[in-house]
Amino acid sequence: MKIISGSTHKKFALKVAERLQMSITNTNLSRHPDSETAFEINESIREKHSPQIQGFFNIGVDNLFAEPLIMKYIKELIPNWKTAVIVSPDAGEAKRATSMASKLGLDLAIIHKQKNHLKQIESTILVGDVRDKSSIIVDDMADSCHTLVKATDKLKESGATRIYA
């Protein structure tokens, strides 16, 4: 069993942990400038939750991944996809974009954000070649779409012919 606390009930979690003679799971909680919350669990919790979560449902619980559906969409609905480039809009998506590019047999480009000491983006550098090619941006979510807009601007500036996201 692991005890994990967010930001609202730290004292309660500490009391529960003390009562059970356990420690609270090591985590980091931060907020991005776009108000998105980042919550990292710094130790393994693999397979700790499966049976407990399944007990709350009267049907089976499976982890579903979007990557196979996205790749199917690319193959079926993006013209000339075989000459496209998969683009990661930032370093955080590089692993996912690399996986998709590899599975599709496509080139990869990564947009590197250079930030100042206040974590504000000062400039971006495109690593990879998108000139005269379609670009397919792969990202995990779009809330304010700021990252998507900046990536699109960089790709246009770098000569991409079509941009999909």
Residues 72 and 123 in one domain: yes
**59 domain-assigned:** no
Mapping DSSP onto H, E and C, the string for 26-56 reads CEEEEECCCCCEEEEECCCCCCCCHHHHHCC
User: DSSP 3-state assignment of 137?
Assistant: strand
Residue 65's identity, in one-letter code, is F
Q: Which residue has the tokens 């930032």?
A: 90
pTM comes to 0.66
**1 domain-assigned:** no
The pLDDT value recorded for residue 133 is 97
Question: How confident is residue 50, by pLDDT bands cut at 50, 70 and 90?
Answer: low
Q: State the residue range of the domain holding 48.
A: 10-54
Cβ pair 117, 158 in contact under 8 A? no
Q: Write 97-100 long-range contacts (CB < 8 A, 24+).
A: 97/138, 99/67, 100/67, 100/70, 100/71, 100/138
Residues 72 and 131 in one domain: yes
pLDDT digits (tens, 9 = 90+) for 74-86: 999 999 999 999 9
**How many domains in the chain?**
2
Q: What is the Cα 136 distance to its own chain's centre?
A: 15
CATH number of domain containing 141? 3.40.50.2020
CA distances to 14, 52, 57 from 19, in Å: 9, 21, 29
Residues 88 and 145 in one domain: yes
The pLDDT value recorded for residue 63 is 66
**80 domain-assigned:** yes
Residues 81 and 132 in one domain: yes
The pLDDT value recorded for residue 44 is 75
Question: How confident is residue 87, by pLDDT bands cut at 50, 70 and 90?
Answer: very high
Residues 127 and 93 in one domain: yes
Residues 27 and 49 in one domain: yes
pLDDT digits (tens, 9 = 90+) for 100-150: 999 999 999 999 988 888 878 888 999 999 999 999 999 988 878 888 999
**145 domain-assigned:** yes
Residues 140 and 73 in one domain: yes
Percentage of residues in the chain with pLDDT exceeding 70? 88
Residues 124 and 76 in one domain: yes
Residues 90 and 160 in one domain: yes
Residues 130 and 158 in one domain: yes
**61 domain-assigned:** no
Of the candidates 96, 165, 156, which has an alpha carbon nearest to the alpha carbon of residue 124? 156
Bigger pLDDT: 153 or 56? 153
Residues 37 and 117 in one domain: no
